[in-house]
Structure 1
Amino acid sequence: MRVLFVTSEVHPLIKTGGLADVSGALPPALEKLGLSVKVLLPGYPAVMQKIARSEIGTPIDIPGPLGTTSARLLPVRYGALDLLVLDAPDLFTRPGGPYNAPGGQDWPDNQFRFGALCHAAAWLSLSDTPLGWRPDILHGHDWQAGLAVAYCHLWGQHGRPRTVFTVHNLAYQGQFAAENVPHLRLPWEAYRHDGLEFWGGMSFLKAGLWYADQLTTVSPTYAREIQTPELGCGLDGLLSMRSSNLAGILNGIDDTEWNPGIDPFMPATFSDSKMAGKATVKRALQVASALTPDPQTPLFCVVSRLTHQKGLDLLADCLPDLVGRGAQFVLVGTGDPALEHRYRMLAAAYPGRISAQLKYDEGFSHLVIGGSDAIIVPSRFEPCGLTQMYGLRYGTLPVVRRTGGLADTVTDATPAAIENGSATGFTFDHADAAGLSWALSRALDLWKHPKLWKQVMRSAMTHDNSWDKAALDYQALYEGLLAKPL
């Protein structure tokens, strides 16, 4: 079975969030099951720089590329990934991030940048290309790949692959003016309520949701939540209508990269059966974060983008009480300038107790998650979440709001769950400071009972969050699609 992944970011080449982790880890997991998976992604400067050290196959020119005068595909084997990099300098060779200019604003031609990515995917899927490989399944990820699904449906009258569209975060929808429809080589007949139209404009995300043969999202709970007005982002009606074609498949993590027994970013290693090394990592983290070294002090952490979605304004309200009760806290992340300023001020007000590392650093994130005692994920909504799974793997107990994938991966440390060995963290229901404060208090109370804390740590560390089950679920989904007539 041949599968084409269409994605805007892939770890370790380019990353802004969990989409990159999924795009980097799921294809190798599928290949272990015998599938042939190629990953199509844009040739951003960071990507081009990294693949330059790899063996690049013969470039393949794309006829009539969208949004630029010339574009080509570069076949690259990069570690465990079989890549097709879209080399289109007019569209992607520029400063800033994958989606934003250096000042933070969206690139004004994002519809053509990611339209070109989708056009390339459709060309690979519907033509006999020099690659000599056509997918049986086109699997698009998030709004940036939505038009790939639409193109296959609208242009594939003489045969097309089955299409799967995965929503990683419904809040990001790729909305553009309706005038772009013909410039993106889409027929005006598709610009209607049962098609591309969305609130007077057009939406790449809606295109994927409407035209894909199968929809998935990244956790079972989130699949249910997005069919409600509260979390449906205006698309709950469409998602409810397509509920028979919507599946929630829980993300996994790369349990080789995130493995406390071999992690090169930490000064010591440990496991569920040999935990002594975690104390060494904790001290190293306290020193690196300018926190007072003390093994008896419970150390909480956050590794996250600083956004309203992540509920970090709620946490800021709780921190004075948390450190007042004897805890320490370290944050790693960037985002909303107002939130950055607030955490910077909290760190200044509580030296040695609160540390705000306002940066993104993959290696330091490993040290933080490995050395902390608990990781806080107070999201207002969370399609899946990965940091809580990293926390589980490292015995860093998650404190999470019971939503989306957080609800599917963390078992609350109730007395009954502790007794039967299923407890792995602490959960709360309401997206407010009171609910979060209650969960943090429960964590502090359990910390006073070291034997019980270590028991929950072991349960967390032995919880299987690898990609193995998800890969099997996707394989079954693909096979089910191929068994049905178009």
Structure 2
Amino acid sequence: MTIRALHVASELYPLLKTGGLADVAGALPPALIERGADVRALLPGFPAVLAGLTDLHPVAQLGRRFDTPGVTVERGTLPSNGLVVYVIRAESLYNRPGNPYLNDEHVPYGDNAQRFALLGWVAAQLAQQLDPAWSAQIVHAHDWHAGLAPAYLKAAERQHGRPVARSVFTVHNLAYQGVFPAHQFGQLGLPDDFFNISGIEFYGQLSFLKAGLFYSDRITTVSPTYAREIQTLSQGGGLDGLLRHRSHDLSGILNGVDYAVWNPTDDALLDTHYSATRLAGKSACKEALQKRFGLAQKSDALLFGVVSRLTEQKGLDLLLGGVPEIIRHGGQLVVFGTGDPALENGLKRVAQSHPESVAVELGFDETLAHTIVAGSDVIAVPSRFEPCGLTQLYALAYGSLPLVHCVGGLADTVADASLENLADDLATGFVFERFEPKGLAAAIRRAFALYDRRTEWKATQRRAMRQDFGWGASAERYLALYRELI
């Protein structure tokens, strides 16, 4: 029996990307299709999404929904792989340039509750013959934007007296909870008793994330360690009680890497290619990176790279304190991303004082991200918490040894270059246990110490590049979950 599954998300690479969610939404459906499932996606009709699909045609006219006239659902195709994508066309809700969630002042749109309630509602309709040619047996909702889909499915089940589809809810980051004022509940069209502590109510407000956690049949998150961490008071974001209560329905499944996009042997965004057996091209990538950022052209300087949102969650405040340690040992640092203005300015000040050693560029650009991952010797991901993290997985594939804090998916994917791990052929990077300056400084020193032992450094690079974090194993685990539910 072929399982019909609908993936519901607010972004999907290559159509629209603000973070790792888009990479997962773009890579997991094709991996499931490869394994025999019939998978489609549902997205809001943001301009970039509509522009990137081919063969768009109407599936259903919905008229006025959530105080919005002229809502239609259309079906199109993603040209790169043929994935069938449903889109919700609602001009007044989605036709806004720039960031899909925030206005020009970086403030969340005032109607985000309606914008993303509509996404969840349409997902539930696609399990109830909204498209006469196809209906979902599994609705797989991603993050808070899709959190109401399981709630609308449970409401439909009550109405019909039987389940209309099963639901899986994946938490990519528990810190983003989709919280709105209680008075907006009336606009959602859910049964009155859903506004309840056993439901969508969260400290007197509504939480779309909580709706997903409460009403879904199964919950997954993006690494085994993060699945344990979110059941604790310190990392549970006020939802640890609910998550502990549902621990038998909760599992951690690691995100994968799309090696068609991230592979140094044939990366379309790189000028020079290399592999684990032919590492020579990597030094050309390093040279190009030093040149691009105006750093001293020293082939033997240990080059640290950062591609990240510049926020406290990502541990960039801790890294800023560790920069003197890198400079003192003759290392270099390239930082690329945007975020907290105080961190941006702090990093820029260091770069101005040490232009030979430190370079900072604000923005996001996929090509430059690949250039930094390929050209760096070490990629730093010192996050305070990290549900899965993809950057360290890209770094491993490119032989750029990750330097990470021992949390979430970082703990699950990187083995520290301790003496015993080096002796046992296990080391793939540098891991610090406690989130404090001493721990980070020690990891930085371990990186310099290993770099001085070139034979061992090269062996560790090759070991890192042989790690397989492709989508295969993860897709199999999701399929097993779908089969259990059906």
TM-score (norm 1): 0.97
CA contact (8 A) 2:58 2:72 kept: no
Listed as ranges, the matches of 1:214-225 within 5 Å are 214-225=218-229
CA contact (8 A) 2:63 2:69 kept: no
Q: Which amino acid aligns with 1:115?
A: A
CA contact (8 A) 2:325 2:444 kept: no
CA contact (8 A) 1:303 1:333 kept: yes
CA distance in 2, matches of 1:209, 1:70: 31
Match of 2:137 in 1: 136
Deviates more, 1:427-436 or 1:439-448: 427-436
Match of 2:99 in 1: 97
Q: Which amino acid aligns with 1:266?
A: L
Match of 1:66 in 2: 66
2:439 matched to 1:432?
Answer: no
Residue 57 of structure 2 aligns to a residue whose secondary structure is coil
CA distance in 2, matches of 1:28, 1:116: 25
CA contact (8 A) 2:225 2:411 kept: yes
Listed as ranges, the matches of 1:9-24 within 5 Å are 9-24=11-26
CA contact (8 A) 1:42 1:117 kept: yes
Listed as ranges, the matches of 1:239-388 within 5 Å are 239-388=243-392
Task: From 29, 40, 43, give the equivalent of 1:41.
Answer: 43
Deviates more, 1:219-228 or 1:188-197: 188-197
Deviates more, 1:290-299 or 1:461-470: 290-299
Residue 70 of structure 1 aligns to a residue whose secondary structure is strand
Match of 1:57 in 2: 57
Matched residues, number? 479
CA contact (8 A) 1:2 1:136 kept: yes
Q: Which amino acid aligns with 2:362?
A: L
Deviates more, 1:369-378 or 1:117-126: 117-126
Structure 1 residue 60 displacement after superposition: 2.9
Task: From 200, 217, 241, give the equivalent of 1:213.
Answer: 217
Match of 2:460 in 1: 456
**Structure 1, unaligned runs of 5 or more:** none
CA distance in 2, matches of 1:233, 1:323: 37
2:190 matched to 1:181?
Answer: no
Structure 1 residue 419 displacement after superposition: 1.7
**What percent identity do the matched residue pairs reach?**
47
**Structure 2, unaligned runs of 5 or more:** none
2:158 matched to 1:154?
Answer: no
Q: Which amino acid aligns with 1:37?
A: V
Residue 173 of structure 1 aligns to a residue whose secondary structure is coil
CA distance in 2, matches of 1:400, 1:49: 37
Q: Deviations over 1:105-157 (max 9, x none)?
A: 0001100000111111111112x224421111000000011101100011223
Structure 1 residue 65 displacement after superposition: 2.5
Deviates more, 1:163-172 or 1:86-95: 86-95
CA distance in 2, matches of 1:236, 1:129: 36
CA contact (8 A) 2:138 2:482 kept: yes
Structure 1 residue 190 displacement after superposition: 1.0
CA distance in 1, matches of 2:377, 2:74: 44
CA distance in 1, matches of 2:74, 2:291: 44
CA contact (8 A) 1:250 1:470 kept: yes
Structure 1 residue 268 displacement after superposition: 0.7
Listed as ranges, the matches of 1:385-396 within 5 Å are 385-396=389-400
Q: Which amino acid aligns with 2:260?
A: T
CA distance 1:216–1:130, change in 2 (3 Å): closer
Residue 69 of structure 2 aligns to a residue whose secondary structure is coil
CA distance in 2, matches of 1:131, 1:358: 47
CA distance 1:96–1:67, change in 2 (3 Å): farther
Residue 127 of structure 2 aligns to a residue whose secondary structure is helix
Structure 1 residue 326 displacement after superposition: 0.4
Q: Deviations over 1:264-313 (max 9, x none)?
A: 21121011111110011110111011111121111000000011100000
CA contact (8 A) 1:65 1:119 kept: no
Residue 223 of structure 1 aligns to a residue whose secondary structure is helix
Q: Deviations over 1:159-190 (max 9, x none)?
A: 31110000000010001111111211012211
Q: Which amino acid aligns with 2:16?
A: I
CA distance in 2, matches of 1:391, 1:435: 21
Structure 1 residue 89 displacement after superposition: 0.8
2:75 matched to 1:75?
Answer: yes
Q: Deviations over 1:374-397 (max 9, x none)?
A: 000000000000000000000000
2:168 matched to 1:167?
Answer: no
CA contact (8 A) 1:66 1:119 kept: no
CA distance in 1, matches of 2:68, 2:331: 55
CA distance 1:24–1:459, change in 2 (3 Å): same
Deviates more, 1:37-46 or 1:370-379: 37-46
Residue 74 of structure 1 aligns to a residue whose secondary structure is strand
